[in-house]
Amino acid sequence: MTTTTMTKEELKKKVCQAIENRKADINALAETIWSEPELGYKETKTAQKVIDTFTQLGVPFKDKLALTGVKGRLKGGKGSQYSIAVIGELDAIICPDHPDASDLSGAAHCCGHNAQIANMMAVTMGLIDSGAMAYLSGDVVPFAVPAEEYVEIAYRSRLIEEKKIKYIGGKPELISRGEFDDIDMALQIHLTSVPNDRKNGFIELSTTSNGFIGKMIKYKGQSSHAAAAPHMGINALNAAMMGLMGVNAIRDTFQEKDYIRFHPIITQGGDLVNVVPSDVRMESYVRASNVPAMVDANERINRALKAGAMSVGATCEIKDLPGYLPLNNDPTLNKLMGENAQHLVGDENVWVGPHLTGSTDTGDLSHIMPVSHPWIGSIRGQLHGKDYTVFDKDMAYIRPAQMMACTIIDLLYDDAKEAKELLSNYKPLMNKEEYLAFLATFDK
Residues in contact with Zn ion by the rule CB under 5 A = 111
* CB nearer Zn ion, residue 111 or residue 408: 111
C-beta closer to Zn ion: residue 111 or 321: 111
Q: How far is the CB of 148 from Zn ion (least distance, A)?
A: 6
**Smallest gap from residue 302 Cβ to Zn ion (A):** 27
Query: Taking the complex as a whole, how short is the minimal distance between the CB of residue 113 and Zn ion, in angstroms?
Result: 6
Question: 2 burial class (0-12, 13-18, 19+ CB within 10 angstroms)?
Answer: exposed
Least Å from the CB of residue 90 to Zn ion: 11
C-beta closer to Zn ion: residue 111 or 282: 111
- DSSP E strands in 12-82: the ranges are 61-65, 69-72
Residues 365 and 435: their CA atoms lie apart, in Å, by 10
Half-sphere exposure of 131 (CA within 13 A, CB side): 7
Tell the smallest beta-carbon distance from residue 191 to Zn ion (Å).
Answer: 8
Euclidean distance between CA atoms 132 and 14, whole angstroms = 8
Residue closer to Zn ion (CB basis): 78 or 171: 171
Residue closer to Zn ion, measured from CB, 263 or 319 = 263
Residue nearest to Zn ion according to CB distances in the complex = 111
Cα 421 off chain centre by: 27
How, if at all, do strands 139-145 and 350-352 pair? unpaired
- Answer yes or no: are the C-beta atoms of 378 and 189 closer than 8 Å: no
DSSP 349-417: GEEE---BSS--THHHHHHHS-EE--EEEEEES-TTSTT-EE--HIIIIIHHHHHHHHHHHHHHHHHHH
**Min CB(431)–Zn ion separation in Å:** 27
Instruction: Using the minimum distance from each CB to Zn ion, give the nearer residue, 111 or 194.
Output: 111
Residues 182 and 83 sit within 8 Å (Cβ to Cβ): yes
Nearer to Zn ion, 91 or 179 (CB): 91
d(CA 11, CA 20): 14
Residue 377: CB minimum distance to Zn ion, A:
14
